[in-house]
Amino acid sequence: MRRLWSGLWALALVLTLCVSPPALAAFPDVHAGAWYASVVEEMAAQGILKGLPDGSFHPEDAISAAEFVTIAARCAGLEPARGQCGHWAAGSMETALGAGWYDWDELPPTGEGWDKPISRQLAVKVLMKALLPGKGYDYTAESGKIKDFSALNGRYYDTTLAACAAGVVTGDGAGNFRPLDGLTRAEACALFQRALSAAGGVTPQPPAETERPSVPAVPSAKGGVTENGWLQVVGTQLCNERGEPVVLHGMSSHGLQWYGQYASAQAMANTAAYGANVFRVAMYTGEGGYLSQPEAMTERAFAAVDAAIQADLYAILDWHILSDGDPMANVAAAESFFAAAAERYKDCPNVIYEICNEPNGNVTWAGNVKPYAQRLVSAIRAQAPKSVILIGSPTWSQDIHLAAADPVAGENLMYTLHFYAGTHGQELRQRIDAAMAAGLPVFVSEWGASRADGSGGVFLEESKVWLDFLEERGVSWCNWSLCDKNETSAALKPGTAPAGSWTEDDLTESGRFVFSRF
């Protein structure tokens, strides 16, 4: 009942925003002596607030994320979009997300968390992006004003400190911001009022431009998901929704359990700015990965996929077996992971499933990898009938000749070939030609400019021969890896900040070469 009531309240509040009814007297549940009485009354007088039909205001209830974002959207004059889920706030939420007021992982577009109290740090971010974008501040001066600054997540520094500088955020009586707590409807009104007045009134602002990294932008000739839509495999060629050949180029993450910070929306936007249109999310199974912490790794992998989606990239979700060489060893875990992934992303054209990175050791195609692939293809197909699925092969995904002789039944299946330019050459290239001639669709979901152990070299001459070869054949690829580890296959120099944009100076020899080939 209470939920219904607060939902109605939200609707009434939102629907009456920005209209100009006659000034209202204070709400019966707003007492004249309350600290927020004048703020609420003034906002009511401006027509920004109106009570429920019974005239009440519920000032001490926590404001939900959907309510807060919707009010901000209306104050900023943003047109609600069509809205994909059935929630009453879906239209405003979609527009606000598109305008960059918050990220997918903060408030997922599925509606999850929208009716929960919004945190103060997120509320202030939304408010600042909506009404005072680009507002400056002095870091030392403003951070010194917040007693519990250390409790603030770094991604909210900018907006929180700018809000302090603008006088929008004043802290509680003790000088604390309490970033993770919620805020009441009364407090939210106070925030909106101060931000509106700092912004010069209720004049709608143009939507803030989504932040773009300041790396030299090489527009992709191949296009992202917006341009290409659902992928399909026609013969041996990867094609877009219209059936035109498409080639994907991009980076693979390193192990998410170690270098997850380079699988952020910013990191992906940085590669997209250089022309990448795909990102591979390498979720190790062993070595401290999924098998030892399934929930945490699932969350990280999904967050990375969401970040790729946000950057308009195709996202390869990679079950990164390595020390566990036989995929059958953990087939039940793989089925449950991919069933959950396919359920979550079944309507999403971005996602490509890579079911076993590199089978190795004592495994055969017929005895281990193919039966595994058949089980995983069924598990994924139960949810996602047409998404592209990538299948590995024995010897670290080099034995595509075995797959070509005995392929898995099904549509939109491709087979991975992995190479390292310092180790593998002509022989493997011939294998690709033979496999494709036999009708096998090939995808190079991982290659490195180093030796096969990730170090040595770099072998740029050999890499160039390889990439030219793939280009002539329209074969897609991802490079190992987007991280700052001190190894030659890493694309970033040690210490490169994951949160900012990157210049040529941040890239390693391998990184410069690879990024130039997107």
Residues noted as catalytic:
358, 446
For the window 275-304, what string marks contact with ligand DCB as x by the rule CB under 6 A?
------------x-----------------
Q: Give the contacts of 33 (CB within 8 A, at least 6 positions apart).
A: none
CB of 72 to ligand DCB, least distance (A): 43
Judged by CB under 6 A, does residue 396 bind ligand DCB?
Answer: yes
Contact 126, 69 (CB under 8 A): yes
Judged by CB under 6 A, does residue 425 bind ligand DCB?
Answer: no
Tokens encoding 151:
């409790």
Nearer to ligand DCB, 172 or 453 (CB): 453
CB of 339 to ligand DCB, least distance (A): 24
Burial class of residue 19, CB neighbours in 10 A (0-12, 13-18, 19+) = exposed
Among 453, 461, 468, 504, contact with ligand DCB (rule: CB under 6 A): 453
Nearer to ligand DCB, 168 or 321 (CB): 321
Of 273, 275, 283, give the one whose Cα is nearest residue 518: 275
CB of 307 to ligand DCB, least distance (A): 21
Contact 282, 310 (CB under 8 A): no
Nearer to ligand DCB, 344 or 418 (CB): 418
Among 357, 416, 463, 479, contact with ligand DCB (rule: CB under 6 A): 357
Q: Which residues does residue 237 pair with via DSSP β-bridges, in sequence order?
A: 234
Judged by CB under 6 A, does residue 484 bind ligand DCB?
Answer: no
d(CA 289, CA 296): 9
Tokens encoding 243:
């059936």
Contact 297, 257 (CB under 8 A): yes
Nearer to ligand DCB, 103 or 324 (CB): 324
- H or E element in which residue 281 lies: strand 278-284
Judged by CB under 6 A, does residue 456 bind ligand DCB?
Answer: no
User: Exposure string (b/e) for 456-466, b if CB count within 10 Å is 16 or more?
Assistant: bbbbeebbeeb
CB of 260 to ligand DCB, least distance (A): 14
In this structure, the number of other CB atoms found within 10 A of the CB of residue 343 comes to 12
Please list every residue from 236 through 255 that binds ligand DCB, using CB under 6 A.
255
Selected range binding ligand DCB among 26-34, 134-142, 202-210, 416-424, rule: CB under 6 A? 416-424
Among 11, 18, 428, 452, contact with ligand DCB (rule: CB under 6 A): 452
d(CA 70, CA 64): 10
Selected range binding ligand DCB among 107-115, 197-205, 371-379, 484-492, rule: CB under 6 A? 484-492
Nearer to ligand DCB, 340 or 452 (CB): 452
Judged by CB under 6 A, does residue 361 bind ligand DCB?
Answer: no
Selected range binding ligand DCB among 17-25, 83-91, 217-225, 485-493, rule: CB under 6 A? 485-493
Among 94, 312, 487, 506, contact with ligand DCB (rule: CB under 6 A): 487
Among 239, 322, 329, 333, contact with ligand DCB (rule: CB under 6 A): 322
CB of 3 to ligand DCB, least distance (A): 47
CB of 280 to ligand DCB, least distance (A): 10
Burial class of residue 166, CB neighbours in 10 A (0-12, 13-18, 19+) = buried
What is the full DSSP assignment across 346-399? TT-TTEEEE--S---SS--IIIIIHHHHHHHHHHHHTT-SS--EEE--HHHHT-
Tally of CA atoms within 13 A in the half-sphere of 225 that contains its CB: 17
Judged by CB under 6 A, does residue 399 bind ligand DCB?
Answer: no
d(CA 114, CA 104): 12
User: Exposure string (b/e) for 224-236, b if CB count within 10 Å is 16 or more?
Assistant: bbeebebbbbeeb
Contact 149, 143 (CB under 8 A): yes
Among 326, 358, 462, 484, contact with ligand DCB (rule: CB under 6 A): 358
d(CA 447, CA 287): 20
Nearer to ligand DCB, 269 or 491 (CB): 491
Nearest residue (beta carbon) to ligand DCB? 454
CB of 489 to ligand DCB, least distance (A): 5
CB of 480 to ligand DCB, least distance (A): 5
Judged by CB under 6 A, does residue 485 bind ligand DCB?
Answer: yes
Judged by CB under 6 A, does residue 446 bind ligand DCB?
Answer: yes
Interface ranges with ligand DCB (CB under 6 A): 255, 287, 322, 357-358, 396, 418, 420, 423, 446, 448, 452-454, 480, 485, 487, 489
